[in-house]
Amino acid sequence: MMLRRAGLIGDVHCQVARLQQALALFRGSGVDAVLAVGDIADGPGDLTETCAVLQQAGVLAVAGNHERWLLNNEMRDLPDANQLDQLAPPVRRYLGSLPRTRFFESPRGTVLLCHGLGEDDMGCVRPDDDGKALLENTALRQLIASRVARFVVNGHSHRPMLRTVDGLTILNAGTLHPKHRPVCSIADFESGQMQLYDVELTRVRAAEQWSFERGSRPTQ
């Protein structure tokens, strides 16, 4: 699939109402596809409905660490954790079918969709990571060295971000969880812009706009 404009959804965590708000925005925005970075499960909402909404909208999703934990029946003492023995069979099949990575082409190069960094669903780069933190980030270094993608669309940190590290541009989609800043975004791979939106329960509001060249940090 050629991505020119893509709707990006961060860690969902069962936030059905905010998910529906984001999808309504994307329907009127001329996006080629809607991408979701995983961590669909474990949140204060209905997982069954969340999965149904994602499937009905044709969202292209990957699995996050919370899907892995749920399906392996691990870390089930987390707040708002879903329980494996309570999953309906269609939900279990859907979550189990999600790949860890997906690849797309764009006018500016290959796009990797993942939860963390490539196959590492716990890997991440944060907006304030610098110097030693970047040099010692094994998953990041492996991804850069592999040259499998020019762009990475990910989540995990719950912190929306756009930055380039050694030629690899990372678009972090953030999260829909209200404990953090609920956001979604549209990445335009033709114009080189990422438009961030604040997602409320009743509306979506345009927020920051970042360029691929300048990123989301004033120091870039």
CATH number (domain holding residue 149): 3.60.21.10
Q: Is 216 within a domain?
A: no
DSSP letter for each residue of 70-103: HHTT-STTSTT---GGG--HHHHHHHHH--SEEE
Give the CA radius of gyration of the chain. 16
pLDDT for residue 1: 85
pLDDT for residue 220: 36
Predicted confidence (pLDDT) per residue in 62-79, tens digit: 999 999 999 999 999 999
Q: Is 75 within a domain?
A: yes
Q: Is 175 within a domain?
A: yes
Q: Is 219 within a domain?
A: no
Taking the C-alpha atoms of residue 112 and residue 149, their distance in angstroms, rounded to an integer, is 6
Q: Is 102 within a domain?
A: yes
pLDDT for residue 63: 98
pLDDT for residue 6: 98
What phi and psi values does residue 120 have, to the nearest 5 degrees? -85, 100
pLDDT for residue 20: 98
Taking the C-alpha atoms of residue 18 and residue 124, their distance in angstroms, rounded to an integer, is 24
**Domain housing 85:** 5-211
Taking the C-alpha atoms of residue 176 and residue 171, their distance in angstroms, rounded to an integer, is 16
pLDDT for residue 219: 37
Pairing mode of beta strands 193-199, 204-211:
antiparallel
Q: Is 59 within a domain?
A: yes
Predicted TM-score (pTM) of this structure:
0.96
Torsion of Cα atoms, 73 then 18 then 164 then 216, to 10°: -140
Q: What residue ranges of the chain have pLDDT lower than 50?
A: 219-220
Q: Is 136 within a domain?
A: yes
Q: Which long-range contacts (CB under 8 A, 24 or more apart) does 146-149 make?
A: 146/118, 148/103, 148/110, 148/112, 148/118, 149/103, 149/109, 149/110, 149/111, 149/112
Domain count for the chain: 1
Q: Is 51 within a domain?
A: yes
